[in-house]
Amino acid sequence: MTFKATRMTLVAALLGASALTASAEGFTPENPECIAPANPGGGWDFTCRQVGKSLQDLGLIEKTMQVVNLAGGGGGVAFAEVVNKRGDSNDLIVAASSATATRLAQGAFPGNTMDQVRWLASIGADYGVIAVAANSPIQTLPELLEQMKNDPTAISVAGGSAVGGWDHLKVLIAADAYGIDDVRTVKYIAFDGGGEAVTQLLAGSVQAFTGDISEAKGFVDSGDIRVIAVLAPERLEGEFAAFPTAKEQGVDAIGANWRGFYVPGGMSDEAYNGWVEKIGALYESDEWKEVMAVNGMAPLDLQGEAFEKFVADSVAQIEAISKEIGIIK
Protein backbone atom coordinates (compact mmCIF):
# COMPACT_ATOMS: atom_id res chain seq x y z
CA MET A 1 0.00 0.00 0.00
CA THR A 2 1.33 3.43 -0.88
CA PHE A 3 1.89 6.18 1.68
CA LYS A 4 -0.93 8.25 0.14
CA ALA A 5 -3.34 5.30 0.02
CA THR A 6 -2.56 4.40 3.62
CA ARG A 7 -3.19 7.90 4.95
CA MET A 8 -6.38 8.26 2.87
CA THR A 9 -7.62 4.98 4.39
CA LEU A 10 -6.92 6.44 7.84
CA VAL A 11 -8.81 9.65 7.04
CA ALA A 12 -11.76 7.70 5.61
CA ALA A 13 -11.92 5.56 8.74
CA LEU A 14 -11.85 8.68 10.88
CA LEU A 15 -14.54 10.62 9.09
CA GLY A 16 -16.79 7.69 8.22
CA ALA A 17 -17.01 6.11 11.67
CA SER A 18 -20.39 5.48 13.24
CA ALA A 19 -21.60 5.71 16.81
CA LEU A 20 -22.30 3.08 19.42
CA THR A 21 -23.98 4.06 22.65
CA ALA A 22 -23.91 2.46 26.07
CA SER A 23 -25.82 3.20 29.22
CA ALA A 24 -25.38 2.95 32.96
CA GLU A 25 -27.71 4.21 35.62
CA GLY A 26 -26.65 5.95 38.77
CA PHE A 27 -22.86 6.29 38.43
CA THR A 28 -21.54 9.59 39.70
CA PRO A 29 -17.77 10.22 40.03
CA GLU A 30 -16.95 11.37 43.57
CA ASN A 31 -13.99 13.54 42.55
CA PRO A 32 -13.96 13.82 38.75
CA GLU A 33 -10.46 14.34 37.35
CA CYS A 34 -9.05 14.72 33.85
CA ILE A 35 -5.37 14.36 33.04
CA ALA A 36 -4.13 16.52 30.16
CA PRO A 37 -0.83 14.89 29.09
CA ALA A 38 0.76 18.25 28.13
CA ASN A 39 1.35 21.73 29.46
CA PRO A 40 -1.52 24.27 29.48
CA GLY A 41 -2.51 25.78 26.14
CA GLY A 42 -2.52 22.74 23.86
CA GLY A 43 -5.19 20.45 22.45
CA TRP A 44 -5.24 17.94 25.32
CA ASP A 45 -5.58 20.78 27.83
CA PHE A 46 -8.46 22.20 25.76
CA THR A 47 -10.12 18.76 25.68
CA CYS A 48 -10.04 18.33 29.47
CA ARG A 49 -11.07 21.85 30.38
CA GLN A 50 -13.84 22.26 27.81
CA VAL A 51 -15.34 18.82 28.39
CA GLY A 52 -15.13 19.21 32.17
CA LYS A 53 -16.90 22.57 32.04
CA SER A 54 -19.59 21.33 29.67
CA LEU A 55 -20.25 18.16 31.71
CA GLN A 56 -20.84 20.29 34.79
CA ASP A 57 -22.91 22.91 32.93
CA LEU A 58 -25.18 20.14 31.64
CA GLY A 59 -25.52 18.54 35.08
CA LEU A 60 -23.79 15.34 33.95
CA ILE A 61 -21.30 15.62 36.81
CA GLU A 62 -22.04 17.20 40.17
CA LYS A 63 -18.57 18.52 41.05
CA THR A 64 -16.04 20.60 39.13
CA MET A 65 -13.67 18.51 37.03
CA GLN A 66 -10.11 18.82 38.34
CA VAL A 67 -7.68 19.18 35.43
CA VAL A 68 -4.12 17.96 36.00
CA ASN A 69 -1.42 18.81 33.43
CA LEU A 70 1.09 15.97 33.26
CA ALA A 71 3.46 16.68 30.38
CA GLY A 72 6.27 14.58 28.99
CA GLY A 73 7.12 11.95 26.39
CA GLY A 74 4.34 12.92 23.99
CA GLY A 75 1.79 11.60 26.48
CA GLY A 76 3.97 8.76 27.75
CA VAL A 77 4.41 10.16 31.26
CA ALA A 78 0.65 10.36 31.75
CA PHE A 79 0.05 6.92 30.22
CA ALA A 80 2.61 5.31 32.56
CA GLU A 81 1.12 7.17 35.55
CA VAL A 82 -2.33 5.80 34.79
CA VAL A 83 -1.15 2.24 34.14
CA ASN A 84 1.25 2.01 37.08
CA LYS A 85 -0.37 4.15 39.78
CA ARG A 86 -4.00 4.92 38.92
CA GLY A 87 -5.09 1.63 37.40
CA ASP A 88 -8.30 1.20 39.41
CA SER A 89 -9.56 4.79 39.62
CA ASN A 90 -13.23 5.22 38.73
CA ASP A 91 -13.07 9.02 38.78
CA LEU A 92 -10.29 9.52 36.22
CA ILE A 93 -10.46 10.21 32.50
CA VAL A 94 -7.45 11.09 30.32
CA ALA A 95 -7.40 13.25 27.19
CA ALA A 96 -6.20 11.41 24.09
CA SER A 97 -5.98 12.00 20.35
CA SER A 98 -4.36 10.78 17.16
CA ALA A 99 -1.09 11.78 18.83
CA THR A 100 -1.70 9.12 21.50
CA ALA A 101 -2.43 6.46 18.86
CA THR A 102 0.69 7.52 16.96
CA ARG A 103 3.00 7.09 19.96
CA LEU A 104 1.45 3.70 20.76
CA ALA A 105 1.80 2.62 17.13
CA GLN A 106 5.49 3.50 17.19
CA GLY A 107 6.20 1.76 20.50
CA ALA A 108 7.18 5.11 22.03
CA PHE A 109 5.64 4.38 25.45
CA PRO A 110 8.23 1.85 26.73
CA GLY A 111 6.54 -1.25 28.08
CA ASN A 112 3.05 0.14 27.50
CA THR A 113 0.39 -0.94 25.00
CA MET A 114 -3.10 0.29 24.14
CA ASP A 115 -4.79 -2.70 25.85
CA GLN A 116 -3.52 -1.62 29.29
CA VAL A 117 -6.23 1.06 29.42
CA ARG A 118 -9.88 1.24 28.39
CA TRP A 119 -10.83 3.52 25.51
CA LEU A 120 -13.83 5.61 26.43
CA ALA A 121 -15.23 7.86 23.69
CA SER A 122 -14.49 10.49 21.06
CA ILE A 123 -15.71 14.07 21.21
CA GLY A 124 -14.93 15.17 17.65
CA ALA A 125 -12.01 15.63 15.30
CA ASP A 126 -9.62 18.50 14.78
CA TYR A 127 -8.14 19.29 11.37
CA GLY A 128 -4.45 19.99 11.28
CA VAL A 129 -3.01 23.38 10.40
CA ILE A 130 0.34 24.76 9.36
CA ALA A 131 0.93 28.32 10.51
CA VAL A 132 3.59 31.01 10.62
CA ALA A 133 4.08 34.09 12.78
CA ALA A 134 1.88 37.01 11.74
CA ASN A 135 4.92 39.00 10.59
CA SER A 136 6.50 36.13 8.63
CA PRO A 137 7.41 36.84 5.00
CA ILE A 138 6.07 33.37 4.10
CA GLN A 139 2.56 33.73 2.66
CA THR A 140 1.59 30.27 1.33
CA LEU A 141 2.15 26.60 2.04
CA PRO A 142 3.94 25.95 -1.30
CA GLU A 143 6.32 28.80 -0.48
CA LEU A 144 7.17 27.20 2.87
CA LEU A 145 7.59 23.73 1.36
CA GLU A 146 9.72 25.07 -1.50
CA GLN A 147 12.13 26.57 1.01
CA MET A 148 12.26 23.20 2.80
CA LYS A 149 12.90 21.44 -0.49
CA ASN A 150 15.71 23.78 -1.54
CA ASP A 151 17.40 23.99 1.85
CA PRO A 152 16.12 21.62 4.59
CA THR A 153 18.12 23.53 7.22
CA ALA A 154 16.37 26.84 6.45
CA ILE A 155 13.01 25.94 7.99
CA SER A 156 12.35 24.54 11.46
CA VAL A 157 8.80 23.49 12.27
CA ALA A 158 7.56 23.33 15.87
CA GLY A 159 4.82 21.03 17.13
CA GLY A 160 3.31 19.87 20.38
CA SER A 161 3.93 16.14 19.91
CA ALA A 162 7.17 14.20 20.18
CA VAL A 163 9.39 13.45 17.18
CA GLY A 164 7.47 10.93 15.09
CA GLY A 165 4.21 12.01 16.72
CA TRP A 166 1.03 13.21 15.04
CA ASP A 167 2.06 16.87 14.71
CA HIS A 168 5.30 15.67 13.10
CA LEU A 169 3.45 13.28 10.79
CA LYS A 170 1.13 16.07 9.58
CA VAL A 171 3.99 18.18 8.23
CA LEU A 172 5.57 15.04 6.72
CA ILE A 173 2.28 14.27 4.95
CA ALA A 174 2.36 17.78 3.44
CA ALA A 175 6.04 17.47 2.50
CA ASP A 176 5.41 14.10 0.84
CA ALA A 177 2.42 15.48 -1.09
CA TYR A 178 4.55 18.41 -2.31
CA GLY A 179 7.19 16.09 -3.70
CA ILE A 180 9.99 16.31 -1.13
CA ASP A 181 11.71 13.01 -1.87
CA ASP A 182 13.10 12.28 1.60
CA VAL A 183 10.69 13.65 4.20
CA ARG A 184 13.17 12.69 6.92
CA THR A 185 15.09 15.86 5.98
CA VAL A 186 12.23 18.01 7.32
CA LYS A 187 13.47 19.76 10.46
CA TYR A 188 10.88 19.23 13.21
CA ILE A 189 11.31 20.40 16.82
CA ALA A 190 9.10 18.86 19.52
CA PHE A 191 7.64 20.71 22.50
CA ASP A 192 5.36 19.66 25.37
CA GLY A 193 2.12 20.98 23.91
CA GLY A 194 0.93 23.28 21.16
CA GLY A 195 1.00 26.37 23.38
CA GLU A 196 4.72 26.00 24.02
CA ALA A 197 5.36 25.36 20.31
CA VAL A 198 3.56 28.59 19.35
CA THR A 199 5.54 30.50 21.99
CA GLN A 200 8.76 29.37 20.28
CA LEU A 201 7.36 30.44 16.90
CA LEU A 202 6.61 33.91 18.26
CA ALA A 203 10.09 34.10 19.78
CA GLY A 204 11.61 33.48 16.34
CA SER A 205 13.22 30.19 17.33
CA VAL A 206 11.36 28.36 14.54
CA GLN A 207 9.78 29.43 11.25
CA ALA A 208 6.51 27.46 11.28
CA PHE A 209 4.04 25.65 13.53
CA THR A 210 2.19 22.38 12.96
CA GLY A 211 -0.79 21.63 15.16
CA ASP A 212 -4.57 21.50 15.25
CA ILE A 213 -7.05 24.24 14.58
CA SER A 214 -8.47 24.29 18.12
CA GLU A 215 -5.07 24.99 19.68
CA ALA A 216 -4.16 27.56 17.00
CA LYS A 217 -7.42 29.52 17.20
CA GLY A 218 -6.59 31.64 20.25
CA PHE A 219 -3.28 32.72 18.74
CA VAL A 220 -5.00 33.56 15.45
CA ASP A 221 -7.62 35.62 17.30
CA SER A 222 -4.89 37.53 19.15
CA GLY A 223 -3.16 38.33 15.86
CA ASP A 224 0.02 36.47 16.77
CA ILE A 225 0.00 33.78 14.07
CA ARG A 226 -1.33 33.31 10.54
CA VAL A 227 -2.66 29.98 9.26
CA ILE A 228 -1.28 29.25 5.79
CA ALA A 229 -2.98 25.87 5.36
CA VAL A 230 -5.73 23.74 6.88
CA LEU A 231 -5.27 20.01 6.23
CA ALA A 232 -8.94 19.43 5.37
CA PRO A 233 -10.61 18.20 2.16
CA GLU A 234 -12.36 21.56 1.74
CA ARG A 235 -12.61 24.89 3.55
CA LEU A 236 -14.19 24.78 6.98
CA GLU A 237 -17.32 26.75 7.78
CA GLY A 238 -17.93 29.98 9.68
CA GLU A 239 -14.98 32.05 10.81
CA PHE A 240 -12.59 29.28 9.71
CA ALA A 241 -13.64 29.71 6.07
CA ALA A 242 -10.96 32.39 5.72
CA PHE A 243 -8.18 29.79 6.05
CA PRO A 244 -7.05 28.16 2.77
CA THR A 245 -6.71 24.39 2.56
CA ALA A 246 -3.48 22.73 1.51
CA LYS A 247 -5.42 21.01 -1.26
CA GLU A 248 -6.54 24.24 -2.92
CA GLN A 249 -2.88 25.32 -2.99
CA GLY A 250 -1.96 22.19 -4.94
CA VAL A 251 -0.76 20.15 -1.93
CA ASP A 252 -3.02 17.11 -1.51
CA ALA A 253 -2.50 16.71 2.24
CA ILE A 254 -5.23 15.81 4.74
CA GLY A 255 -4.70 15.40 8.48
CA ALA A 256 -7.57 14.96 10.93
CA ASN A 257 -6.83 14.51 14.61
CA TRP A 258 -9.51 12.69 16.63
CA ARG A 259 -10.03 13.81 20.20
CA GLY A 260 -11.34 11.65 23.02
CA PHE A 261 -10.49 9.88 26.25
CA TYR A 262 -9.10 6.71 27.76
CA VAL A 263 -9.56 5.56 31.36
CA PRO A 264 -7.67 3.21 33.72
CA GLY A 265 -7.69 -0.43 32.74
CA GLY A 266 -9.03 -1.47 36.13
CA MET A 267 -12.00 0.90 36.13
CA SER A 268 -15.19 -0.93 37.08
CA ASP A 269 -17.71 -1.76 34.34
CA GLU A 270 -20.32 0.38 36.11
CA ALA A 271 -18.03 3.40 36.13
CA TYR A 272 -16.84 2.81 32.55
CA ASN A 273 -20.40 2.52 31.22
CA GLY A 274 -21.39 5.56 33.27
CA TRP A 275 -18.61 7.66 31.73
CA VAL A 276 -19.54 6.35 28.26
CA GLU A 277 -23.12 7.49 28.85
CA LYS A 278 -22.02 10.91 30.09
CA ILE A 279 -19.70 11.60 27.15
CA GLY A 280 -22.37 10.34 24.76
CA ALA A 281 -24.95 12.69 26.27
CA LEU A 282 -22.45 15.55 26.12
CA TYR A 283 -21.78 14.90 22.43
CA GLU A 284 -25.52 14.97 21.62
CA SER A 285 -26.08 18.27 23.42
CA ASP A 286 -26.62 21.60 21.69
CA GLU A 287 -23.93 23.07 23.94
CA TRP A 288 -21.28 20.67 22.60
CA LYS A 289 -22.38 21.20 19.01
CA GLU A 290 -21.74 24.92 19.59
CA VAL A 291 -18.31 24.19 21.10
CA MET A 292 -17.44 22.11 18.02
CA ALA A 293 -18.61 24.86 15.65
CA VAL A 294 -16.69 27.60 17.47
CA ASN A 295 -13.50 25.57 17.53
CA GLY A 296 -13.63 24.16 14.00
CA MET A 297 -14.08 20.55 15.05
CA ALA A 298 -15.46 17.92 12.68
CA PRO A 299 -18.00 15.24 13.70
CA LEU A 300 -16.75 12.00 15.26
CA ASP A 301 -19.26 10.25 17.51
CA LEU A 302 -17.92 7.00 18.97
CA GLN A 303 -18.32 5.44 22.39
CA GLY A 304 -17.36 2.23 24.16
CA GLU A 305 -16.53 -0.79 22.01
CA ALA A 306 -16.86 1.17 18.76
CA PHE A 307 -14.25 3.66 19.95
CA GLU A 308 -11.98 0.87 21.18
CA LYS A 309 -12.06 -0.74 17.72
CA PHE A 310 -11.50 2.62 16.04
CA VAL A 311 -8.37 3.30 18.13
CA ALA A 312 -7.03 -0.21 17.42
CA ASP A 313 -7.52 0.37 13.68
CA SER A 314 -5.86 3.80 13.94
CA VAL A 315 -2.83 2.33 15.72
CA ALA A 316 -2.46 -0.34 13.01
CA GLN A 317 -2.75 2.19 10.18
CA ILE A 318 -0.34 4.69 11.73
CA GLU A 319 2.16 1.88 12.28
CA ALA A 320 1.98 1.16 8.53
CA ILE A 321 2.52 4.85 7.68
CA SER A 322 5.42 5.14 10.12
CA LYS A 323 7.18 2.12 8.61
CA GLU A 324 6.67 3.44 5.11
CA ILE A 325 8.34 6.79 5.85
CA GLY A 326 11.11 5.21 7.90
CA ILE A 327 10.22 6.41 11.41
CA ILE A 328 10.09 2.79 12.64
CA LYS A 329 11.37 -0.45 11.14
pLDDT of residue 213: 86
Query: Do residues 55 and 278 make contact, with C-beta atoms less than 8 angstroms apart?
Result: yes
Largest CA-CA distance found in the chain, in angstroms, rounded: 61
* Residues 110-150: tens digit of each pLDDT: 899 999 999 999 999 989 999 999 999 999 999 999 999 99
Strand 225-230 and strand 256-264: pairing? unpaired
pLDDT above 80: residue 203:
yes
Architecture of domain 3-126+258-324: 3-Layer(aba) Sandwich (3.40)
Q: Is 192 exposed, middle or buried (0-12, 13-18, 19+ CB in 10 A)?
A: buried
* Residues 234-279: tens digit of each pLDDT: 898 888 899 999 999 999 998 888 999 999 999 999 999 999 999 9
Using 50, 70 and 90 to split pLDDT, how confident is the model at 307? very high
Give this prediction's pTM: 0.76
CA 207 to chain centre: 22
pLDDT of residue 4: 52
Question: Helix 304-324 to helix 3-15 angle, to the nearest 10 degrees?
Answer: 170
Where do the H-state alpha helices sit in 192-249? Answer: 194-202, 213-221
124 by DSSP, 3-state: which? strand
Mean pLDDT, the chain, whole residue set = 90
pLDDT of residue 3: 52
Domain ranges in the chain are 3-126+258-324, 127-249
Distance CA 101, CA 226 (A): 28
pLDDT above 80: residue 1:
no
b/e per residue 158-170 (b: at least 16 CB within 10 A): bbbbbebbbbbbb
Which of 267 and 21 is assigned the larger pLDDT? 267
Among 100, 126, 123, which Cα is nearest to 52's? 123
Using 50, 70 and 90 to split pLDDT, how confident is the model at 163? confident
Q: What is the CATH number of domain 127-249?
A: 3.40.190.10
Identical fold at 3-126+258-324 and 127-249? yes
Where do the H-state alpha helices sit in 30-140? Answer: 43-57, 76-85, 98-105
Query: Do residues 224 and 202 make contact, with C-beta atoms less than 8 angstroms apart?
Result: yes
* Residues 52-76: tens digit of each pLDDT: 999 999 999 999 999 999 999 889 9
Q: Give the contacts of 54 (CB within 8 A, at least 6 positions apart).
A: 282, 285, 287, 288, 291
